[in-house]
Amino acid sequence: PDWWLKNNFQLTHETVLNYLLRLREALTPVIDVMQLSSIQKYNNAQWSNYIADLRGTLATFPGKKPAAIRIDQLDRRSLAGEPSDGILIYPLIVHMTYTPMKLSLTREPKYKSVLKNFMKLQYLMMNKPKITPTDRAQLAQLANELEDMEHSGVHRREITVELSSEGFYRTGIRPDISQHALNLVSLVSHLRFHKSLESLEKRLDYSFRDKSLLHQALTHPSYRRTNFGTNQDHFQNSLVSCGPRILEYGDKLQLYKAWRKKGLTKMIQVMSVLPKMHEERSNIYGNERLEFLGDAVIEVISSIHLFFMFPELPEGHLDAYRQAIVQNQHLAELAIRLGIHKFLLYTHSVDFCYDSTFIYARSDAFEALMAAIALDAGLDIVDRIFGAVLFGDEDDIHRVWVKIPPHPLQAQYPNGDRSWATKVPMLKKLPILEEDLGITFKHLRVLARAMTIRKTGFNFYTFGDNQRLEFLGDSLLKYVSTDYLFRHFPRHHEGHLSLLKNSLVNKYTQAAVCSELGLDQYVIRREDNSVLKPPGNGDSDRTGSGKPSPVATSLSAQNQNVKYKADLLEAFVGALFVDKDLVWVERFCQVCFWPRLVEFILKQEWNDAKSKLQQCCLTFRSLHEEPEIAHYKVLDHSGPTNQRTYLVGVYFRGQRLATGKGRSVQQAQMEAAKRALELHQDTFRQLDFQRSVISRRYRQPYIDKMLDHVQNWDERLVDYFIHGDKPGRESEKIVANDSPSNTAADFVQFLRQDPKRKGSDQLKLGETSHSESHSLIQSTASVRSARQSQAFTKSSKDRVCRRSLETGETGGAEMSQSVSECMSEEGEIQDEDEDMNDNETTDDDNETVNSNLGNRSRFRSVPNQNVALKDGRRRGADIESGNSGTKSRYRRSLPSGTLADLFTSRGTR
């Protein structure tokens, strides 16, 4: 009203409350009883002018439920008929509202059944090799049934309500105030929750910089649509009665598409997305992604502590201890110690009445909390908090857990044992491996232990075999891979990330990397375990200093299975961490593993043959039939027990599709599935759909060129994975770590060489030419291995380009220009502003006790700035307190882009 708005130009909360209190003293009825007779005499124009100020406002009836409604219209006559002569009636308030969803057509059981059958039959017909007339008639019948039920009007949600205006009073408030008030309830609840989290942060002795990470870690996925700050029904009833008549939330599909994770089609579409060039925060709701990362964080911390605390225990015992620490029941108890269950946000449904369900919710929340701390501060803080929660109440045990002792080989010679390389025959060939890889170990015997297989037996140089290092390396690979996937695949749910992780760290990928690096050539065998120098090995001949000849290597490689090579690579990664730190492990994976993601995604190799065959068989069921799956049967086996070969056949609906042979039943099943897909690819239309997802998203020339870059191990592609995430940080840290001996500097310098520009006449004194170095590993995919070990190399011109990428001083546009100047490839990107996939052709699915680790601060992850990397050889950095000045990785302002940014000519942009 004008009398109230004269001196109130800003609608603060105090102003609104004062108005409502004053309004209560002098309520004005919607229709004054003294005006009833004159109202009936108004013509239409006069009546419209009279109710113009009332239409769209809220009217209240104290004591009734609901106490207020929105006036959409005022009618002098009811739709039900005319009033009797001489009787004055109050005009009717017309209120247009909605019935609850439970009473709508979409919740009708019959309608839901017909709709489900219609969509199911439509999907099955799309994947059938031949559509019968019966299928078409059945689909048309279901469509007609749906149309009849939709037009029946029995379950219409939109209804009109007529109420007499007698007893209703004017408020002068419109629906926007109601919306604001309802949002305040949610806001106050949100603020109360974050205020209460201060007590949890005191328990952790750590204050989050990014509070949203803590909030997300404590949010169960079931809490997605219930964050109203009050009872859900009360909120929705108030919004329908007093809110706007037509609610506009935008495109609901765009709002919820990032949350959808079920369905084969959704999985195929999401798994076709290439990694982001820079880390990006995900819009997926809930703590499932954080739980996926937290599981790897807890496992790697437990593995590192157990590895150094029990130097004499074998791998099996270490694994048993680790399983006891990371199992869900134990993590749920740790969550109760922290009181996480008091802060967990979840839907109060029947499922959570069962203790088993709540145990998993608590353990998942604990894992997500550890992941959130790792993202916000780094592994050092997670290690401090996890140790305090685990053994904080036992000072003696906690002291043992915190103070990690050095490895026995390092404790024996703290300043290094490289002098042994010229004295012990079994160590003489290892410097060649170091030079090939560009990595110089301070403790050479740690590398030797990684190369010592179990059959070699015990020796006094390595103090055992590589099985313990294999235990450590397995956890390191899983963590580093999980961390990268979490940061660079924001659209992937935890199930999709698991598929990619399994593709990266499975034994076949590890064996391939082992062969390409030539690690199997440097295995220390029983015949090498001798002080006597084998005849015929001259010290002057580098190639004869213990390194096998190419012929011998190729013959011995035939007897080495995949598991053997995978274990060897994991042991090497463990040795790299023991001698260096986590920075080196991350760089190793950036070069040797991350580029393979391009091939896995574009070729859909994350989806194995057995899974593909199962997906295809599921599409052959009829509408009302139970789905049938493929069955595998062992047809024959031959050979001795240790070298047995199996013949397996795959059957579907009683018919044998194909057979396959393998050294194990699982391998034979996989071969049979591959052959079945090849023989019946014309019948399985699901394969065409899966391939079409890639072809629709990317242009075929782009796919061919990217696969060619992976096959040839193009340095620019590898450089993308090295510098795309953390520009200008790893190289500086690596160079600073080992500057006394130039170990890391030599590593970076080696990796920056350009084999195309550095000739043999330009080599340093004592350096082997690239052609000679390449010839040493020809038997194990030499071309790809050479490019892989030179993946960090760049010429002087490329270094100028890299500096522009690393310093972060230039803006996004300048950075893109630097990339395009240095990486000149024709005809890739068509649009400068394209984000996730620059070569997409369609828009489908755009859819916590303070302590330190003494002298063993090993959790120096490259992405975090909380620990100063000083001298990598002494590692004297203490764990900083929880409130160290760490900058969240999510707060960096980084330009966006994808793989295609590397292969874009300046002219194209």
Query: How large is the greatest C-alpha to C-alpha distance in the chain, in angstroms?
Result: 128
Structure confidence at residue 647 (pLDDT): 94
Structure confidence at residue 736 (pLDDT): 34
- pLDDT tens by residue, 3-16: 445 555 556 767 77
User: Which of the two residues, 552 and 131, has the higher pLDDT score?
Assistant: 131
pLDDT surpassing 70 at residue 851 = no
Range of lowest pLDDT (83-92, 413-422, 449-458): 83-92
CA distance 757 to 770: 11
pLDDT surpassing 90 at residue 308 = yes
pLDDT surpassing 50 at residue 610 = yes
Structure confidence at residue 710 (pLDDT): 85
pLDDT surpassing 80 at residue 677 = yes
Average pLDDT for residues 489-501, to the nearest whole number? 92
Structure confidence at residue 354 (pLDDT): 62
Range of lowest pLDDT (415-429, 638-652, 788-802): 788-802
Q: What mean pLDDT value characterizes the chain?
A: 73
pLDDT surpassing 90 at residue 909 = no
CA distance 873 to 744: 11
Average pLDDT for residues 14-20, to the nearest whole number? 73
Structure confidence at residue 890 (pLDDT): 30
Structure confidence at residue 894 (pLDDT): 28
Could you say which architecture CATH assigns to the domain 609-701? 2-Layer Sandwich (3.30)
Q: What kind and span of H or E run contains 650?
A: strand 645-652
Q: Which residues contact 739 (CB under 8 A, 6 or more apart)?
A: 745, 871
Look at residue 81 and give its three-state secondary structure: strand
Sign of torsion over alpha carbons 262, 266, 267, 273:
negative
Look at residue 180 and give its three-state secondary structure: helix
Q: What kind and span of H or E run contains 645?
A: strand 645-652
Under the banding of pLDDT at 50, 70 and 90, the label for residue 849 is very low
pLDDT surpassing 80 at residue 273 = yes
CA distances from 456 to 95, 326, 410, 423, 462 (A): 86, 33, 22, 20, 11
Pick the closest to residue 590 from 418, 831, 791, 342 (CA basis): 791
Structure confidence at residue 83 (pLDDT): 53
pLDDT surpassing 80 at residue 837 = no
Structure confidence at residue 338 (pLDDT): 92
Range of lowest pLDDT (78-82, 232-236, 320-324, 567-571): 78-82
Range of lowest pLDDT (190-204, 451-465, 716-730, 858-872): 858-872
Confidence (pTM):
0.71
- pLDDT tens by residue, 341-380: 899 888 766 555 666 677 888 999 999 999 999 999 999 9
Average pLDDT for residues 543-550, to the nearest whole number? 43
CA distance 462 to 469: 12
Under the banding of pLDDT at 50, 70 and 90, the label for residue 254 is low
- pLDDT tens by residue, 623-672: 666 778 899 999 999 988 878 899 999 999 888 999 999 888 998 999 99
Q: Which residues contact 278 (CB under 8 A, 6 or more apart)?
A: 488, 724, 725, 894, 895, 896, 897
User: Which of the two residues, 855 and 612, has the higher pLDDT score?
Assistant: 612
Decide if 209 contacts 372 (C-beta within 8 A).
Answer: no
Percent of the chain with pLDDT over 70: 67
pLDDT surpassing 50 at residue 439 = yes
DSSP β-bridge partners for residue 163: 93
Q: Burial-class residue 324 by CB neighbours within 10 Å (0-12, 13-18, 19+).
A: exposed
- Residue 450: what residue type? A
pLDDT surpassing 70 at residue 773 = no
Q: Which segments of 455-557 does DSSP mark as H helices, in order?
A: 467-488, 494-505, 507-517, 550-557
Structure confidence at residue 480 (pLDDT): 96
Phi, psi of 646 (to 5 degrees): -110, 145
User: Which of the two residues, 670 and 839, has the higher pLDDT score?
Assistant: 670
Under the banding of pLDDT at 50, 70 and 90, the label for residue 155 is low
pLDDT surpassing 70 at residue 602 = yes
- Find which of 260-274, 317-331, 629-643, 715-729 is predicted with most confidence, using mean pLDDT: 317-331
Under the banding of pLDDT at 50, 70 and 90, the label for residue 753 is very low
Look at residue 95 and give its three-state secondary structure: strand
Structure confidence at residue 335 (pLDDT): 93
Structure confidence at residue 765 (pLDDT): 26
CA distances from 555 to 17, 502, 508, 524, 780 (A): 88, 30, 20, 17, 11
Domain ranges of the chain: 2-99+158-173, 108-150, 175-249+286-405, 609-701
pLDDT surpassing 60 at residue 618 = yes
Q: Which residues contact 215 (CB under 8 A, 6 or more apart)?
A: 193, 194, 197
CATH class held by domain 175-249+286-405:
mainly alpha
Range of lowest pLDDT (226-240, 259-273, 444-458, 716-730): 716-730
- Find which of 257-271, 610-624, 659-673 is predicted with most confidence, using mean pLDDT: 659-673
Q: Which residues contact 550 (CB under 8 A, 6 or more apart)?
A: 775, 776, 778, 779
Token match 């706007």: residue?
Answer: 244
- Find which of 299-313, 560-574, 744-758 is predicted with most confidence, using mean pLDDT: 299-313
Average pLDDT for residues 820-838, to the nearest whole number? 34
Pick the closest to residue 597 from 489, 477, 437 (CA basis): 489
